Amino acid sequence: MSLSLGDIEFDGPFSKLSDLDDAPGIYAVLNYEDMQFKFVELRKAKLVQTEVAKALSTKSWSSSPNGKLRIAVCYSTDATEMSIIMHQVLNAEFACESGQGN
Domains of the chain, with CATH numbers? Answer: 2-97 (3.40.1440)
Residue closest to 6 by CA, chosen among 28, 35, 31: 28
Work out the number of other CB atoms within 10 angstroms of the CB of residue 70: 19
| Tens digit of each residue's pLDDT, the chain (102 residues) | 888 888 889 999 998 999 999 999 999 999 888 888 888 889 999 999 999 998 888 766 655 556 688 999 999 999 999 998 998 888 877 765 545 544
Q: What's residue 1's pLDDT?
A: 81
Work out the number of other CB atoms within 10 angstroms of the CB of residue 42: 18
Q: Report CA-CA distances (Å) from 50 to 24, 66, 86, 95, 102.
A: 10, 25, 20, 30, 34
Q: What angle do CA 16, 20, 26 make, to 5 degrees?
A: 120
Q: Report how far residue 57's alpha carbon sits from residue 37's, in angstroms, rounded to the nearest whole number.
A: 22
Q: What's residue 61's pLDDT?
A: 61
Entry pTM = 0.82
Residue closest to 47 by CA, chosen among 28, 79, 25: 25
